Structure 1
Amino acid sequence: MNKINLLDCTLRDGGYINNWKFGFRTIQSILEKLVLSGVEYVECGYLSEKKGGNEDFTQYRSFDAIRRVKPQGNGKQQFAVMIDYGQYDIAHIPQAETDSPIIRVCFHKKDKDGALDYCKQLMEKGYSVFVQPMASLNYTDVEFVEIIQRVNELSPACFYIVDSFGVIEIENFQRILFLADHNLRDGIILGYHAHNNLQQAYGNAKYMVEQRLLHDIMLDASVYGMGRGAGNLNMELFASYLNKNYDKFYNIDAFLDIMDEHLKPIFAEHYWGYSLPFYLSAQYNCHPNYAGYFADKNTLSNKSMRLLLASLPADVKNHYSAELAEEYYQSFQKKYVDDSETLDELKAKIGDNKILILAPGKSLIDHQDSIQDYISDNQPVVIAINVAEEQFRCDYLFCASEKRLKGLIVPDGCKLIVSSNIDQEIDALRINYASYLGTEDLVADNPALMVIRILIAIGVKGIAVAGLDGYSASAEDNYYDPRLALGTSISIKMQKNVLIRKELKLLESHMDIMFLTPSKYCEQ
């Protein structure tokens, strides 16, 4: 029977979750535990001249940096690093030594010619090389066989089927698996690198080991499934399956210790795993970072998310760019309307009255009495953000999010204002979305900031604000009604706090902003 090998990629693919910052001692501890696990291959991270250089990160600029983290006397394990083609000049790579790691080379379809030549030069320097064409499903059958034939000429240690976007379902996996197995040269290991956006990783891997393939097998997995998008094949689960069914003897406790001691705290701050955005990214054969970027906006309905992902050109879908993501997001949202009548109405309504903006922060509960006193004493025009509750009088309710609009109740005597990105036939005043965006992409269409910009546009010089608390790590502390909470990672929340504070500082040069309730944005 062909040999089954596991390669752990926690420190490399898992690095997409925490920007590869594990900490030096944690890196060493994880590697030591992976040695104890008995897994055959361990990937230490990325080798890159353009990134990394700090010992706390699993992005290394030199082979010496890799040697410093490798456990001594590691026994039978073989260690590997990955080079993303174009990230390390071949001229700067030394001749291989006895302790040099395996080099895994990943590359996009458009770069295959240069990448295969790069692999050849690495092998000439004495390295064991794994060839990994990303997004293998983007190759036609003919193209895939052609690249296998070129790999056969090189005769590297391993050739991979790579499911970069987690889109390969079992029917396509069967087809591409047997294409590879029947055409790959004898002696080359056949590998599979999975992502779990459609929850296919385990099933495909199980199918692969059940077949009587002509080649030895290499399966990539990560502890806790830690990895980009919906994550990778779960190492602890699949290793346990192999123990039970294929006479393997992996130490599952070692994987569980890594989870408990090192990965659970990261998971609490940076979620990974199956989610609707990553499901949609797989449905549209799209880089998962686009789905994650659009989801973090928390403004798009599921239908709009689908339309936006479907609208991305094929060449854009394959290569993630935050700049392009923002460009396509804003282009999708920018549906122009002439909002002069809305501005005229607001200006007439406000007149010389004071203005109170009610954001939906939890402080509305704790300071309800003082807010009511302010409303009674000053009779301001009240503009609520995203939701209006009965305990506060409300003149206008502003919404810039399709997601927030669903189920929104507009109280009697209150007028709804929506931005032009909301493409629904509703009874509402409309403002032009693009006219009131900020400069910081992550919070460009934050609704409270948009309302402040609208008020500046009609000449308002001062406002009072309540409920604009700022984001807390705990979801239940962010809104006066927990049902308003949206699934946002802690790191994104903290980034938003910094950027909203920055935007408010700019806006305060145009108007006075008085906070009636505690806020992270007015702390000294």
Structure 2
Amino acid sequence: MRTVKLLDCTLRDGGFINDWEFGHDDIINIFERSVSAGTDIIEVGFLDDRREFDRNRTIMPDTAAVNEIFKGVDCGNSMIVGMIDYGTCRAENVCGKADSILDGIRVIFKKKNRFEALEYIRILKEKGYKMFVQPVSITGYSDEEMTDLVKRVNELKPYAMSMVDTYGLLHQGNLLHYFEIMDRHLDPGISLGYHAHNNFQLGYSNSLALIEKNTERDLVVDGSAFGMGKGAGNAPLELLAMYANDHMGASYDINQILEMIDVNIMKIYLKSPWGYSVKYYLAASNDCHPTYVQHLMQKRTLSIKSVNEILSMIAPEEKLAYNKEHIEELYCRYQRQEIRDEESIARLGTELLGKSLLVLGPGKSMQKQKSEIQAFIAKWKPTIITINYEPKDFYTDYIFLSNAKRYVGLANRLQRQGQDDQIKIIATSNVTKASGSFDYTIDYSSLIDPDFEIMDSSLLMLLKLLQKLGVKEAALAGFDGYSSSEGENYFNVAMEYAFVKDYADKLNAYTKKALETIRHELKICFVTESKYQN
């Protein structure tokens, strides 16, 4: 008769949330609660010899560190395992099973390293451990490649082989397809495991689909307390235990898991929450690494629609291993939607010919030096252009839009105010309108600096446009320059960019130098204080 065993990976996968720093007392409490709950297999953390020993963390350099942290604990009837990410812990840092608290070791490995990883697993098995073969991102394997891997695994005779859905990409049909391939070819004595992630909110339901599968295969199903884990989190251990009690005749003490959640887990969740989010949905729906989504969203220049469209452009061979150069190249290609803008340039140039111009930015000086700006406007009665926003305290003739994300909120506000026909929009070609067209559309690629890390400075893009229009003079207000202190760059803190903290000094130096070049053709004066002034 087959068995279904629950594996608690809270101390290992949950550690991605807090860099494995649970604190020693909480580590032991989580472990003891899981033992008392009757959990079949408890994973106590990572073995990683790149890390220093720290009794407060569950990422440990060797088995001696595991023994020290868990010295004297009662393991009850639970199997105790650790995990190694192939290539991060040398075999000599793993002592023989006879001298270790660990009963088994799970080894995860990428597809490109699978053959070397199997040899490493063989070496650890010879030390006496029950071995778990854990190919990550199984969606990256073809049926033929998975079949070949299973046949090689049979030669090792491990305790289990798992389906690891690293980025939560599997729907039930895909999961059962991989299960059937592995179940058909895996030796009967080897258990089949499943490690879910919750990007599509399917971790629990997929686990139940596997448990309910009509098979004689012994199963190992991973879960963590409150679903604590990398990214969107894992299948919740308490739900899996509840189902096993209600439908499989199991007798897990769920109160112990609930106590663990209440005492040890919730304080972490309140500080650093995990779970389903748009970010992880976008990653899973595009079958790609979540860092691609993070990279694009941190730019704060793209709408969700644009992020999704760029993700769909990722080359198949680049999807599961993050490649910064590749996603940046796709971002640049997407933004450079080259158009013919001669007609817009001609009309706009005619409208601005001979007019006094004031360009308004979103810096805090817009409030601090409001009276100076009002005095300038009263004296010169300029045509006013704002960049990516509409100020509340000043009228606006034109809004220059180069940021698709800012446009989404701005469009709704203008529509509510009924001002669409009063304020004219100058948009770069990377910004698209839901319906109709902007008053003027300018080729994005003609205004950027592709040689600078942050190539699309909105101020410099507008000034380049004014040069193309033949404008000879412009006044600037609200362009204070960047500060590395959070919340200091905009009068509206919601406009802050995540990257500014790391790039403030570089951005200021670059902008100041660029303005010196622009001044050869365009006279610039500052109405408010700025770090860009000489």
Shorter-chain TM-score bucket reads 0.7 to 0.9
The 5 A counterparts of 1:113-128 are: 113-128=115-130
**Structure 1 match to 2:521:** none
> In 1, Cα distance between the equivalents of 2:269 and 2:400?
34
Q: Secondary structure of 1:318's match?
A: coil
Residue 362 (structure 2) aligns with: 358
In the TM superposition, residue 299 of structure 1 has moved relative to its aligned partner by: 3.5
Structure 1 residue aligned with 2:504 = 501
2:442 corresponds, among 420, 430, 435, to 430
Match of 1:311 in 2: 313
Change (3 A) 1:182 1:508: closer
How many Å apart are 1:79 and its aligned residue? 2.8
2:393 and 2:429 map into 1 onto residues whose CA distance is 29
Equivalent-residue separation in structure 2 for 1:277 and 1:152 (angstroms)? 38
- Tell me the residue number matched to 1:464: 477
**Separation of aligned partners in 1, 2:241 and 2:128:** 31
Look up the match of 1:451: 459
Match of 1:489 in 2: none
Look up the SS of the partner of 1:388 in the other structure.
coil
State whether residues 24 and 57 of structure 2, in contact with CA within 8 Å, keep that contact through their aligned partners in structure 1: yes
Partner of 2:108: 106
Gap change, CA 1:371 and 1:499, over 3 Å in 2? farther
Q: Give the equivalent residue in structure 2 for 1:418.
A: 427
Quote the Cα distance in structure 2 between the aligned partners of 1:19 and 1:320: 20
Q: Using a 3 Å threshold, how does the CA distance of structure 1 residues 27 and 505 change in structure 2: closer, same or farther?
A: farther
Q: CA deviation at 1:38?
A: 3.1
Deviation of the 1:74 alpha carbon: 2.7
Q: What amino acid is aligned across from residue 440 of structure 2 in structure 1?
A: A
Matching of residue 97 in structure 1 with residue 71 in structure 2: no
Structure 1 residue 275 corresponds to structure 2 residue 277: yes
Mapped contact 2:132–2:162 kept (Cα < 8 A): yes
Deviates more, 1:157-166 or 1:325-334: 325-334
The residue identity in structure 2 corresponding to 1:134 is: V
Report the CA distance between 1:260 and its aligned residue: 4.0
Count the aligned residue pairs: 502
- Give the deviation of 1:30 after TM superposition: 3.5
Please give the alpha-carbon distance, in whole angstroms, between the structure 2 residues aligned to 1:221 and 1:6. 7
Cα RMSD for the two superposed structures: 4.4
What residue is the counterpart of 1:62 in the other structure? 62
| Cα distance, 1:233 vs structure 2 | 0.9
**Residue pair 1:33, 1:255 contacting (<8 A) in 2 also:** yes
Contact 2:64 2:100 in 1 (8 A): no
Contact 1:299 1:401 (8 Å CA) reproduced: yes
Rg: which structure is higher? 2
Distance change (3 Å), C-alpha of 1:455 and 1:109: same
Q: Say if 1:73 and 1:267 are closer, same or farther in 2 by CA, change over 3 A.
A: closer
Q: Summarize deviations over 1:79-138 as a string: whole Å, max 9, x none.
A: 322222222333554433342432211112222211111111111122221101122233
Write out per-residue CA displacement over residues 179-238 of structure 1, whole angstroms, 9 at most, x where no aligned residue.
323432233221101112222221121122223432322111122222333221122222
Query: Equivalents in 2 of 1:303, 1:295: separation in Å?
Result: 11
Provide the rounded CA distance (Å) in 2 between the counterparts of 1:226 and 1:473. 29
Using the TM superposition, name which of 368-377 and 215-224 deviates more: 368-377
The alpha carbon displacement at 1:156 in A equals 0.7
Q: Distance in 1 between matches of 2:218 and 2:479?
A: 64
Distance 1:257 1:242 in 2: 19
Distance 2:150 2:127 in 1: 22
TM-score by length of 2: 0.77
Q: CA deviation at 1:421?
A: 2.6
Q: 1:490 maps to what in 2?
A: none
1:226 matched to 2:236: no
Distance 1:216 1:515 in 2: 74
Moved more, 230-239 or 189-198: 230-239
Q: Which moved more, 1:263-272 or 1:278-287?
A: 263-272
- What is the letter of the counterpart of residue 68 of structure 1? E
Q: How far is 1:298 from its partner?
A: 3.9
**Kept in 1: contact 2:484–2:502 (CA 8 A):** no
Structure 1 residues 412, 349: CA separation in 2 closer, same or farther (over 3 Å shift)? farther
Which shows bigger deviation, 129-138 or 505-514?
A: 505-514
Distance 2:257 2:357 in 1: 63
Tell me if structure 1 keeps the 8 A contact 2:299–2:499: no
Show the counterpart of 2:86.
85
Aligned 1:33-44 pairs, distance under 5 A: 33-44=33-44
Contact 1:342 1:431 in 2 (8 A): no
Separation in structure 2 between the aligned mates of residue 8 and residue 513 of structure 1, nearest angstrom: 64
CA contact (8 A) 2:460 2:511 kept: no
Give the corresponding residue for 1:250: 252
CA distance in 2, matches of 1:220, 1:375: 66
Normalised to the residue count of structure 1, the TM-score between the two structures is: 0.79
Change in 2 beyond 3 A, CA 1:123/1:299 = same
1:466–1:515: 8 Å Cα contact kept in structure 2? no
Distance verdict in 2 for CA 1:145–1:334, change over 3 Å: same
Q: CA deviation at 1:375?
A: 6.2
Q: Distance in 2 between matches of 1:357 and 1:399?
A: 12
Query: Structure 2: 5+ residue runs without aligned partners?
Result: 516-523
Distance 1:502 1:191 in 2: 50
Distance verdict in 2 for CA 1:36–1:295, change over 3 Å:
farther
Moved more, 204-213 or 275-284: 275-284
